[in-house]
Amino acid sequence: MAPTTPAGRLMPPKQVLYVYSPDEWEEFVYEWARALGEPYVNVEILGGSNDGGIDVAAFLSQEGLRGQWDCYQCKHYKSGLIWSQAWPEIFKVIRWVAEGRYTMPRRYRFVAPRGCGKALARTLQDPPQLKTDFLRELTSEATVIKETPDDVLARITDLAKKTDFSIFKSENIDDVIDVHGKTREHIARFGTPLKTRPEVGVVPEYDASQESRYVGQLLEVYRDSYSKDIVTVDDAMGNPRARFHLARQREYFFSAESLRLFARDSVPAGTFEGLQDDVHVGVFETYARDYPNSMDRLTSVLEKSTSLALNGNVLLMMTKPRDTMGICHQLANENRLKWRGEWSDDDSTE
């Protein structure tokens, strides 16, 4: 459930982010980085002890840290990031590059829910000044400097002088939230409304590679109820009653398929599968009864699916009766329901 205010209203995304733990913040930044539209071959969370100044790394090649990559430094504090917190992070990445642990990132971004303090924000917008300030820190009495061996510090200083400090920037949190809004995780984190579901469209021509299991079971139902001569889809299309019934069932199936595709791009992984499981459990007792014929079983299960008291799934606001009936055919396509014959342990809800 998305966080709410005492009055029951949804909390604005920024307020939600303010109360994240450091680990939650890294997960959020990871999701955001994957949605940036950059040609990344992989994005990984690398934060932790001895992380070398890398929280989230985004790789532009299979060479990983030895190739071209971007660094996203996740900082979650109760106020804006300041210079004394930022320059040691820059020090870490330059040190590790100087020591040959990885190549210099293409870009290095501080990502903090409260952004940067005004002074640091101005400095990050002035790369020459940023370099000057950083080089001055290398001659300071800061603990990290005093603990660095002289030969290593000399290499760090030499590399810093050669480095283009324009790679170091901070991200605007409003822009970060906007980009994250494109992800399937966004609605689960913030409870924002789902985007509009596209229309189902025209049912495509029959495709045995996608539909053979549930349609094959329907053909068996038609042999029981309409004609023993119905063996193929073409046979069904030649029987007026079977043709009309099959057309409706395929409409239901593709309505559910369109919901599956919508869920794939709009909500967290597993959400649609959770809805399928709920429908399966909801219709199972109806499915498991004894029936005089397979058409009665099929009709009873489909009718039951449209009256289920489902809750707790964000897709329900987009789900119509034809979707739940179509989900039943998806379940038949996966052999979790069988329209003809007695049910067995293989059909259980487990």
3-state secondary structure of 10: strand
Contact in structure between 326 and 253 (CB atoms under 8 Å): yes
Q: Which of 190, 220, 249 is the last residue of a domain?
A: 190
Instruction: Give dist(CA 319, CA 43) in Å, integer.
Output: 33
| Domain annotation covers residue 326 | yes
Q: What's the gap between Cα 175 and its chain centre?
A: 18
Residues 37, 177 within the same domain: yes
| Domain annotation covers residue 305 | yes
Residues 320, 270 within the same domain: yes
Residues 152, 24 within the same domain: yes
Check residue 4 and give its pLDDT: 47
Contact in structure between 165 and 130 (CB atoms under 8 Å): yes
Residues 174, 229 within the same domain: no
Check residue 235 and give its pLDDT: 96
CATH number assigned to the domain comprising residue 161: 3.40.91
Residues 22, 170 within the same domain: yes
Residues 217, 268 within the same domain: yes
| Domain annotation covers residue 274 | yes
What pLDDT digit, counting tens, does each position of 49-103 carry? 666 789 999 999 999 999 999 999 999 999 999 999 999 999 999 999 999 999 9
| Domain annotation covers residue 196 | no
The residue whose two tokens read 């903090």 is: 112
Give me the number of domains the chain comprises: 2
Q: To the nearest 10°, report the CA torsion of 90, 127, 27, 313.
A: 170
Q: What does pTM read for this prediction? A: 0.66
Residues 296, 159 within the same domain: no
Residues 23, 168 within the same domain: yes
Q: Which residue ranges in the chain fall short of pLDDT 70?
A: 1-10, 49-51, 341-350
| Domain annotation covers residue 6 | no
- For 316, the domain range is 208-347
Q: What share of the chain is helix, strand, coil (3-state, %, to 5)?
A: 55, 5, 40
Q: Which of 190, 222, 255 is the last residue of a domain?
A: 190
Residues 260, 292 within the same domain: yes
The interaxial angle of helices 127-137 and 83-98, nearest 10 deg, is: 80
Residues 185, 222 within the same domain: no
The residue whose two tokens read 């030895």 is: 66
First vs last C-alpha separation in the chain: 26
Check residue 49 and give its pLDDT: 65
Residues 213, 140 within the same domain: no
Instruction: Give dist(CA 57, CA 105) in Å, integer.
Output: 9
